[in-house]
């Protein structure tokens, strides 16, 4: 039963985790800077000898996630973390929550996923039952 | 004991109608407790049954640590197909142990990681607001339990609706719903026939927390609106990702239930309603399973005692 993890299915997952690790490291370095810095500045302070292009890739990915901002449209592109301490914690928590299998087994979310039909149904449920029209809608939609 | 020894393995089939009917007809609190109890009883009986089969079927195999007399002809006659059943049971019991251990490990390691992550926040109050553009809200069990809610989720709700959300999550923590969910998850590892109970229990605990929030805030419509609004906002923000939409969620049913009248708190429903039948089937299945397990244990015990010379001179 223990031999299943050697195959290829495990590989993308561990690589993704590795990337998340790097993102956190970059964010931590950026968080230590008091002003916007260049990617080279970040690269110097990261252990693990990452290439410049890797650092740029990570920064770009963080930009997509709105965890960093890119300032200075001119020659030296400067990067700044949008996150303070709490923001970094939030970022780490999101990374943890993105592990859906583990998360769903432990936490119950306030609301679960909707299908497009569900959304329409919800809108009509909430919309049609205006004040003074509290009629019981006990029919069970969807099942 | 004859074929009855195999009954506890199959009786969890009674869990299917139970899961379906209770979630629709019982008060969510009673439904959740009933489902968890049924799952634990039927799961324990499955383990007991497998254990017996292991003892009887393998006691005479060379190299096992059990006394040979435990599996003499008298005893083995009690179990049809004892050798095959015994070996299968060994494999099944091992698989059950591995599955349960890994479930427990994942549960507690996830909780520990979440707790360590939350330690990075400057505040240790019950409600941890995480500055995040993605709307979400979770209850993190533990002592003390904490409520993790993203700023985006709070931003899209009015103060009254925020109170609903917090009351809902507090109800999860106060009712220790994670224990019920873990118990049913473990039962599903023990016997796959018990798996349908998990979805039913998840729904029941959500409904339970909804009802509690409606009681706490005193407004069912407000509660319904908060749940519906949160779901729509989460849905919209997640449209870019792929994973979330495999299955339709139970949120519309929750909202519809909240817009209807409050469920009755009565403990045990009348027998001739669908609710009553569901509860009756559940009780009968569990009782039968327990009885046949106990019967098998007792019969085996008597046979073993007869076979083993207990009084040494």
* H or E element, residue B177: helix B177-190
For residue B156, count other CB atoms closer than 10 A to its CB. Answer: 17
Euclidean distance between CA atoms B268 and B33, whole angstroms:
13
Query: Taking a contact as any Cβ pair under 8 Å apart, which residues of chain A between 77 and 106 contact chain B?
Result: 83, 85-94, 96-97, 99-100, 102-103, 105-106
Nearest 5°: the CA angle A31, A33, A35 is 115
> A100 to chain B: which residues are within 8 Å by CB?
243
Per-residue confidence band for A12, with pLDDT thresholds at 50, 70 and 90: very low
Pick the range with the lowest mean pLDDT from B20-24, B109-113, B178-182, B201-205: B20-24
Nearest to B203 by CA among A93, A142, A120: A142
Who wins on pLDDT, B109 or B66? B109
Interface of A with B in 46-65 (CB under 8 A): none
Q: How far apart are CA A131 and CA B122, in angstroms?
A: 42
pLDDT of residue A105: 79
A-chain residues within 8 Å CB-CB of B209? Answer: 108
Within 10 angstroms of residue B28's Cβ, the number of other Cβ atoms is 22
Q: Could you give the CA distance from residue B254 to residue B167 in angstroms, rounded to a whole number?
A: 16
Does the pLDDT of residue B155 top 60, yes or no?
yes
Q: Do A123 and B232 touch (CB under 8 A)?
A: yes
Q: Does B5 touch chain A (CB under 8 A)?
A: no
Does A85 contact B225 at a Cβ distance shorter than 8 Å? no
Nearest CB partner across the interface for A108, out of B139, B225, B257: B139
- pLDDT one-digit tens code per residue, A59-76: 888 888 777 888 766 677
Instruction: Give the gap in angstroms from C-alpha A75 to the nearest C-alpha of chain B.
Output: 30
For residue A65, the chain B residue with the least C-alpha distance is: B133
Interchain CB distance below 8 Å, B256 and A125: yes
Cα distance between residue A36 and residue A69, in whole Å? 9
Interface test with B, best of A110, A113, A122, A123 (most B CBs within 10 A): A110
Percent of chain A with pLDDT over 70: 71
Inter-chain touch B140–A103, beta carbons under 8 Å: no
Q: Is B207 on the interface with A (CB under 8 A)?
A: no
Most confident of the following: A14-28, A89-103, B173-187, B229-243: B173-187
Q: What is the pLDDT of residues B247-281, one digit of tens each?
A: 446 888 888 888 888 887 765 556 667 767 766 77
pLDDT digits (tens, 9 = 90+) for B293-311: 777 777 766 766 766 655 4
**pLDDT of res. B189:** 94
Check pLDDT > 70 for residue B70.
no
Is 0.85 exceeded by the ipTM? no
Residue of B117, B202, B230 with shortest CB distance to A89 = B117
Closest alpha carbon to B99 in A17, A34, A4, A18 = A4
Query: What's this model's pTM, rounded to 2 decimal places?
Result: 0.76
What is the chain A residue with the closest CA to B140?
Answer: A107
- In this complex, the residue of B24, B148, B224 whose CB is nearest that of residue A140 is B24
Out of A107, A108, A125, the one facing B255 most closely (by C-beta) is: A125
User: Cβ contacts (< 8 Å) between A108 and chain B: which residues?
Assistant: 138-139, 172, 177-178, 181, 202, 205-206, 209
Tokens of B186: 């473990």
Task: State which residue of chain B sits closest to A115, comparing Cα positions.
Answer: B248
3-class secondary-structure state, position B128: strand
The chain A residue lying nearest B250, using CA atoms, is A112
Q: For residue B149, what is the enclosing H or E element?
A: strand B146-150
Q: How many CB atoms lie within 10 A of CB A53?
A: 10
């Amino acid at each position: 039963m223990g031999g299943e993890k050697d195959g290829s299915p495990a590989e993308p997952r561990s690589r993704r985790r590795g990337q998340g690790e790097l993102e956190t490291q970059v964010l931590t370095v950026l968080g230590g800077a008091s002003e916007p810095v260049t990617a080279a500045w970040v690269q110097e302070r990261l252990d693990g000898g990452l290439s410049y292009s890797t650092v740029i890739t990570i920064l770009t990915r963080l930009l997509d996630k709105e965890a960093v901002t890119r300032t200075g449209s001119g020659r030296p592109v400067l990067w700044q973390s949008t996150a303070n301490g709490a923001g970094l914690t939030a970022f780490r928590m999101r990374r943890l929550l993105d592990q859906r299998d583990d998360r769903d087994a432990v936490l119950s979310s306030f609301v679960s996923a909707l299908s497009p039909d569900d959304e329409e149904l919800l809108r009509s449920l909430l919309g049609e039952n205006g004040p003074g029209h509290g009629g019981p809608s006990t029919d069970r939609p969807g099942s | 004991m004859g074929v009855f020894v195999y009954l506890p393995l199959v009786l969890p089939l009674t869990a299917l109608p139970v899961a379906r009917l209770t979630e629709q007809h019982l008060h969510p609190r009673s439904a959740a407790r009933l489902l968890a109890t049924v799952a634990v009883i039927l799961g324990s009986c499955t383990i007991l049954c497998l254990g017996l089969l292991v003892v009887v079927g393998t006691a005479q195999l060379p190299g096992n640590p059990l006394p040979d007399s435990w599996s003499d002809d008298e005893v083995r006659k009690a179990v049809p197909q004892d050798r095959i059943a015994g070996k299968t049971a060994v494999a099944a019991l091992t698989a059950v142990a591995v599955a349960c251990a890994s479930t427990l490990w994942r549960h507690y390691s996830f909780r520990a990681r979440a707790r360590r992550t939350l330690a990075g926040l400057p505040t240790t109050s019950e409600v941890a607001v995480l500055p995040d553009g993605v709307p979400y809200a979770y209850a993190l069990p533990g002592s003390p339990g904490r409520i993790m809610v993203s700023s985006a989720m709070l931003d899209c709700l009015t103060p009254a609706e925020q109170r609903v959300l917090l009351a809902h999550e507090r109800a999860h923590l106060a009712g220790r719903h994670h224990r019920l969910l873990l118990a049913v998850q473990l039962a599903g590892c023990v016997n796959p026939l018990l798996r349908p109970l998990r979805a039913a229990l998840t729904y029941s605990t959500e409904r339970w927390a909804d009802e509690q929030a409606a009681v706490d805030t005193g407004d069912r419509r407000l509660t319904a609106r908060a749940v519906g609004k949160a779901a729509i906002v989460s849905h919209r923000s997640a449209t870019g990702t792929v994973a979330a939409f495999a299955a339709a969620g139970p949120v519309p049913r929750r909202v519809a239930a909240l817009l209807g009248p409050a469920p009755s708190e009565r403990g045990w429903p009348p027998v001739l309603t669908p609710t009553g039948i569901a509860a009756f089937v559940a009780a009968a299945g569990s009782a039968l399973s327990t009885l046949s397990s106990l019967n098998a244990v007792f019969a085996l015990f008597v046979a073993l005692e007869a076979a083993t010379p207990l009084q040494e001179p």
